[in-house]
Amino acid sequence: MRERPAVEGLLRLMAWLSPAFPVGGFAYSGGLEAAVQSEHVSSAETLKDWLLTLLRNGSLRNDAVLLAEAHRAAAEDERLREVAELATALAGSAERHLEISRQGGAFLAAASAWPGSVPDVLDDGTAYSVAVGAVAASNGVGLAETVAAFLHAAVSQLVSAAIRLGVLGQSQGVALLSFLEEVIAEQAEKAVSSTLEDLGSATLVADQMSLRHETQHSRLFLS
C-alpha cells in the first residue's frame, strides 16, 4: 500500500501510540518494578543506564527489529504469521508474554477503527510490536517513522512507570526523554535496515527482573 502523506501518517502514529490509546500500557513495567525493588534502578542515572541497555542490547531493540520485519511482511500472510509466532516465542517470561500479547490484541482491536486493513492472520495473541508494524504498513505509514514513534512511546511508558515508583520526578523524567532522543533515533535507523538475523540480547539482569516480578508480593504493575 502506498505511504500516506506525512501529516496523516504522523496523526495516526500520535493516536495509536498515545498513552490514551486503549492498549493498557500503563499497567506494565517490563520488569522495571522488580528492578526498583531490588535497587538495580534507584535514581535518574541508573534508570538512564537501564533504558540505554534495553534500547541498544535488550527487549526494546528486539521489538524494533520485529516491528520492522512485520511492517515489511504485512502483505505476505505466511511471512507475517511466522514473524508473529517468532515474536511470541521470544517472550522470556510468563509476564513478558502476557504484556506483549495483551497489548498487541488490544491494539489490533482499537486500530480496526481506521480504514487500513488489519491483516487477517493476526489474532488477539499477537505481540504488540508485530501488531503495530503490520497495521502501520497496512495504513501506509512509513517504517522509519513507525519504529521511532514506537520506541519513543515505549521509553516514555517506562519513564512514567519509574515516576510512579518514586525513582525520579517529572522534571527529571522530561530531561531523560530529551537525552534519549538521539539514541532512539539511532536505534530506529538501525531497525529499518535490520533483518531477523539481527535479533538477540545481552540483558541478563533485565530478564531476571522480569522473572522475579512474577513472584513479587506487593506490586503496582502486571509485569
Count CA atoms closer than 13 A to 215's CA, side-chain side: 3
Place of cell 501518517: 9
Which 3 state secondary structure label does DSSP give 3?
A: coil
Q: Are 108 and 129 in contact (CB under 8 A)?
A: no
For the segment 63-69, the average pLDDT, to the nearest whole number, is 98
Q: Say what the pLDDT of residue 4 is.
A: 57
For the segment 19-27, the average pLDDT, to the nearest whole number, is 93
Q: Say what the pLDDT of residue 219 is.
A: 83
Confidence of residue 116 (pLDDT cuts 50, 70, 90): confident
Residue 202 reports pLDDT greater than 90: no
Domains in the chain (CATH in brackets) are 32-195 (1.10.4190.10)
C-alpha angle 172-98-45 in degrees, rounded to nearest 5: 20
Q: Say what the pLDDT of residue 24 is.
A: 93
Residue 65 reports pLDDT greater than 80: yes
* Rounded-to-integer distance, Cα 171 and Cα 68, Å: 32
Q: Say what the pLDDT of residue 2 is.
A: 54
Enter the pTM of the model: 0.94
Confidence of residue 177 (pLDDT cuts 50, 70, 90): very high
> DSSP letter at 167?
S
Q: For residue 190, how many other CB atoms are within 10 A of its CB?
A: 16
For the segment 134-157, the average pLDDT, to the nearest whole number, is 96
Q: Say what the pLDDT of residue 3 is.
A: 57
Element (H, E) at 55: helix 44-57
Given phi > 0 = left and psi -120 to 50 = alpha, else beta, which region is 151?
alpha
Place of cell 531523560: 176
